[in-house]
Structure formats: C-alpha cells, structure tokens
Amino acid sequence: MSLAPFGRRRLRVTGRRAIGAYDVLSVADPDGPAPDAGQFAMLAAADGWGGLEDERPFLPRAFSVARRHPDGTLDFVLEDVGPGTERLCALAPGEDVWLVGPLGRGFAPPGEGRRPVLVGGGVGIAPLMIWSDLLGGATTLLGFRDAAHAEGAALLPAARVATDDGSAGHHGLVTELLGAELAGAEVYACGPPPMLEAVRALCAEHDVPAQLALESGMACGFGACFGCVVPTREGYVRLCVDGPVLDAAALEEVA
C-alpha cells in the first residue's frame, strides 16, 4: 500500500479539460509516491477556498486518483455539484492546490483464474481508470444518467455504456450489462450507493467475488474524525483508512 507523506503538499495545476459533464483536473506531483488503484487524495484550492466574510473555509474534498502519468502528473475526475467542487472545476493551469495523499486502501489483484470486470457509475469511473491502466485493460461497463455524462466513457478504453434515459448505449442500468459478464469474473465497482448495492447483491447471488470502492463524506482522510464510518458484518470501519475499497462479502448491504 502506498503511504502519503506527512503533511499536505502545495502542487501546481497543469491542466483542466472538460469531458462531457465532467472536468479532468491535472496536478503535477513528480516527487509524490505512486498511488495504488482505488486510493484517494484530499484536495483543496490554495486560494479562494471559502473563508470570505461571514463564510467558513471549505473542508478539503476527497477524490479518487483517476490516473498517474509517467512524469508524476495526477488526474482527478470532477463534477460541479457544490461550492467546493465548483471552485476546483474553475482552477486554471498555473494555480495551486493543497493535496494530501495517496490515502486509503485500494484494489487487490483478481484471484487466480479470475478475469477483471470493471463497473462504474458517474464519477465512480475515476478509480477504474487507473486500475484499467495497471491491469492493461479489462472488460469495462459504465452507467450514466444521460449522453452528456456518458461522454466520460471516453476516459476508459472500449467501455460499454448504459444510460438511464437511453440517450447513449444500453437503455437501462449498468447491472443489466453486468449479468452477462459474471462467468469467471472478479468484479471491481465504484459509483453511487444504489448501483453498488445492486452489484453486491448480484455478485452474492452468483457467488462472484467483488471489490467495491465506497463513497462517504470525508473530512480528514486519516481516520481521526470518524465521519466516514460504514457498517460491515464485523462492525463499523472507517473508509478513509480501512477502505475505500472493501470486499463485497464483508457487507450486509451498501447503504
């Protein structure tokens, strides 16, 4: 497991590009450790990060590392859904971010004789990007709400797409595509909780191993605040240190 250096690092934004409804933010981190697929970083803009008159500074935001380039540049997939992500989506090359990471536990290689099947929903495509890079490709199934969001599928090679409204790819849920890919598979999934619960239940029904990258509000990234606890069969765990990737078999359900 890659471990984050102590303290936060001030890093330079080197690029930002729109991919449909998402932004891919690139940050230069040549001296940072290479993240494992499924690990995340806590990001905050170095300037303009809340704290104006009668306003508290924003908390850092947790983002899966989507890709690491040979020069150490890190990519993150963002969607503007609130004041923090709005500021990050507005960053331009030459501005700086504060970064703490890599953090958490990532994906483990598939078991012997198992072929990887990646299942993503929305911005949950991010950790699957770096995992696909490290695996050298895999069967990839991605679900989105509509065609504008489905443009994000271009970030992964040869991905099959499902959309809620049928405006791109299969009209329906990504788990409807997954049902035909379970034989001999080990499933890796990240996305909204209803999608992950459907993946968990489907894999449990067919006795297929699965690893789920869960999402939860994180304030610190080091397990100090207990803001990201989730229930497992063995009790509560903190996603930022015990996850975000958990074995699906450890979960009664994804809430």
Domain range list for the chain: 9-103, 115-250
Q: For the chain, which residues score pLDDT lower than 70?
A: 51-55
pLDDT at residue 91, as a whole number: 96
Q: What pLDDT, on a 0 to 100 scale, did the predictor assign at position 51?
A: 63
Architecture of domain 115-250 in CATH?
A: 3-Layer(aba) Sandwich (3.40)
pLDDT digits (tens, 9 = 90+) for 12-31: 999 999 999 999 999 999 99
- The token pair at 146 is 């509509």
User: What tens digit of pLDDT does each residue of 64-94 get?
Assistant: 999 999 999 999 999 999 889 999 999 999 9
Task: Give me the pLDDT at residue 223, please.
Answer: 76
8 A C-beta contact, residue 92 and residue 16 = yes
CATH superfamily of 9-103: Translation factors (2.40.30.10)
The pLDDT score that the predictor gives to residue 216 is: 75
Distance CA 42, CA 63 (A): 6
Q: For residue 145, what pLDDT is reported? A: 95
Is this prediction's pTM over 0.75? yes
Q: Specify the pLDDT at position 27.
A: 98
Measured from the Cβ of residue 100, the count of other Cβ atoms closer than 10 Å reads 21
Cα-based distances in Å from 42 to 59, 99, 171, 183: 9, 6, 35, 37
pLDDT at 171: 97
